[in-house]
Structure 1
Amino acid sequence: MPWCGLEFLLVLCGLKFSWSCPRHCICYTAPSTVSCQAHNFLSIPDGIPPNSERIFLQNNKIHRLLRGHFSPNTVTLWIYSNNITYIEPSTFHGFTLLEELDLGDNRHLRSLAEDTFHGLSRLNALHLYRCGLSTLPNNIFKGLRNLQYLHLQDNHLKYLQDDTFMDLHNLSHLFLHGNRLWSLNQNTFRGLRALDRLLLHKNQIEWVDRLAFHDLKRLTTLYLFNNTLVELSGQCLDMLPALEYLRLNDNPWSCDCKALSLWEWLKSFRGSTSSVGCQAPVNMVGKDLKELHKEDLSSCSSTVSESRSQTNNLSGTVNPSMNRGVALGSGDQTHIVDPSRPGPPKNCTKPRNKVSKKKGDNEVHHSKEVISDKEDSSLDFTEGGKLEHTSPDGTVTRRKHKCSTRTTVRPPSGVQQANNKAPSSKSSLHIQTLFVALIVTNIDHILR
Structure 2
Amino acid sequence: MFSTGCGLEFLLVLCGLKFSWSCPHHCICYTAPSTVSCQAHNFLSIPDGIPPDSERIFLQNNKIHRLLRGHFNPNTVTLWIYSNNITYIEPSTFHGFTLLEDLDLGDNRHLRSLAEDTFHGLNRLNALHLYRCGLSSLPNNIFKGLRNLQYLYLQDNHLKYLQDDTFMDLHNLSHLFLHGNRLWSLNQNTFRGLRALDRLLLHQNQIEWVDRLAFHDLKRLTTLYLFNNTLVELSGQCLDMLPALEYLRLNDNPWSCDCKALSLWEWLKRFKGSTSSVGCQAPVNMVGKDLKELRKEDFSSCSSTVSESRSQTNNLSGTVNPSMNRGVAVGSGDQTHIVDPSRPGPPKNCTKPRNRASKKKGDNEVHHSKEVMSDKEDSSHDFTEGRKHDHTSPDGTVTQRKHKCPRTTVRPPSGVQQANNKALSSKASLHIQALFVALIVRNIDHILR
The answer to whether the 8 Å contact 1:208/1:314 transfers is no
Residue pair 2:149, 2:170 contacting (<8 A) in 1 also:
yes
Q: How many residues align?
A: 443
Q: Which moved more, 1:393-402 or 1:22-31?
A: 393-402
Is the 2:313–2:325 contact (alpha carbons within 8 Å) kept by the matching residues of 1? Answer: no
Structure 1 distance, partners of 2:7, 2:378, is: 93
Which residue in the other structure is 2:3 paired with? none
Instruction: Give the deviation of 1:12 after TM superposition.
Output: 1.4
Query: 1:324 offset after TM fit, Å?
Result: 7.7
- Name the SS for the 1:310 alignment partner: coil
C-alpha displacement of 1:335: 22
**CA 1:399 to 1:173, structure 2 compared with 1: closer, same or farther past 3 Å?**
closer
Q: CA deviation at 1:372?
A: 17
Between stretches 71-80 and 392-401, larger displacement belongs to: 392-401
**Judging changes above 3 Å, is the alpha-carbon distance between structure 1 residues 49 and 293 closer, same or farther for their aligned structure 2 residues?**
same
Shift of 1:393: 46
Unaligned 5+ runs, structure 1: none
Deviation, 1:413, is 51
Equivalent pair of 1:39/1:60 in contact (CA under 8 Å): yes
- Following the alignment from structure 2 to structure 1, what is the Cα–Cα distance between the partners of residues 431 and 259? 76
- CA deviation after TM superposition for structure 1 residue 323, in Å: 8.4
The alpha-carbon deviation at position 258 of structure 1 amounts to 1.1
Matched residue SS, 1:283: helix
Please tell me whether the aligned partners of residues 249 and 277 of structure 1 are also in contact (alpha carbons under 8 angstroms): yes
Q: Residues 91 and 116 of structure 1 are in contact (CA less than 8 Å); yes or no, is this contact kept in structure 2?
A: yes
Between 1:310-319 and 1:289-298, the stretch displaced more is 310-319
CA distance 1:79–1:342, change in 2 (3 Å): same
Q: Given that residues 299 and 360 in structure 1 are in contact (C-alpha distance below 8 angstroms), is that contact kept between their aligned partners in structure 2?
A: no
Instruction: Give 3-state SS (helix, strand or coil) of 1:91's partner.
Output: coil
**Aligned-residue offset at 1:305:** 7.5
Give the TM-score of the pair, scaled to structure 1: 0.70
How far residue 9 of structure 1 moved from its aligned partner, in angstroms, is 1.8
Question: Does structure 2 retain, via aligned residues, the 8 Å contact 1:10–1:17?
Answer: yes
Give the drift of 1:8.
1.8
Deviation, 1:397, is 40
- The whole-number CA distance in structure 1 between the counterparts of 2:384 and 2:199 is 61
**CA RMSD, 1 decimal:** 14.9
Q: Name the CA distance, whole Å, in 2 between partners of 1:240 and 1:442.
A: 91
Contact in 2 for aligned 1:303/1:323 (Cα 8 Å): no
For 1:202, what is the secondary structure of its paired residue? coil
Structure 1: 4+ residue segments shifted above 3 A: 300-339, 343-403, 406-448
Gaps of 5+ in 2: 1-5
**CA displacement at 1:6 relative to structure 2:** 2.1
Residues 1:359 and 1:42: Cα distance change in structure 2 (over 3 Å): closer
Q: What is the distance in 2 between the residues matched to 1:142 and 1:384?
A: 22
TM-score, L = length of structure 2: 0.70
Q: Is the 8 A contact 2:332 2:364 kept in 1?
A: no
Shift of 1:340: 1.6
Percent identity, aligned pairs only?
94
Which one of the candidate residues 92, 95, 105 is aligned to 1:93?
95
* 1:125-155 alpha-carbon deviations (Å, 9 max, x no partner): 0000000000100100000000000000000
Shift of 1:5: 2.6
Contact preservation (8 Å) 2:309, 2:327: no
- Taking structure 1 as reference, are residues 242 and 301 closer, same or farther at Cα in structure 2, changes over 3 Å only? closer
Report Cα offsets for 1:137-180 as digits up to 9, x if no partner.
Answer: 01000000000000000000000000000000000000000000
- Decide whether aligned partners of structure 1 residues 151 and 380 sit closer, same or farther in structure 2, where only a CA change above 3 A counts: closer
Cα gap change, 1:249/1:94 in structure 2, threshold over 3 Å: closer, same or farther? same
Alpha-carbon shift at residue 297 of structure 1 (Å): 2.3
Change (3 A) 1:336 1:411: farther
With over 3 angstroms needed to count, the CA separation of the structure-2 counterparts of 1:424 and 1:389, relative to structure 1, is farther
| 1:281 aligned residue | 283
Q: Name the CA shift for 1:344/1:112 in 2 (closer, same or farther; >3 Å).
A: closer
Kept in 2: contact 1:129–1:152 (CA 8 A) = yes
Higher mean C-alpha displacement, 177-186 vs 296-305: 296-305
Q: Distance in 2 between matches of 1:332 and 1:293?
A: 43
Classify 1:365/1:214 alpha carbon distance in 2 versus 1 (closer, same or farther; 3 Å).
Answer: closer
| Contact 2:381–2:391, Cα closer than 8 Å, also in 1 | no
- 1:214-245 superposed Cα distances (whole Å, 9 cap, x missing partner): 00111100000000000001111111111110
CA distance in 2, matches of 1:19, 1:356: 78
Moved more, 378-387 or 193-202: 378-387
1:94 and 1:120 in contact (8 A); partners too? yes
CA deviation string 1:360-387 (max 9, x = no partner): 9999999999999999999999999999
Match among 359, 362, 366 for residue 360 of structure 1: 362
User: How far off is 1:296 after superposition?
Assistant: 0.7
Q: Radius of gyration: which is bigger?
A: 1
Q: Contact 1:300–1:364 (CA<8 Å) still a contact in 2?
A: no
| 1:294 Cα deviation after fit | 1.6
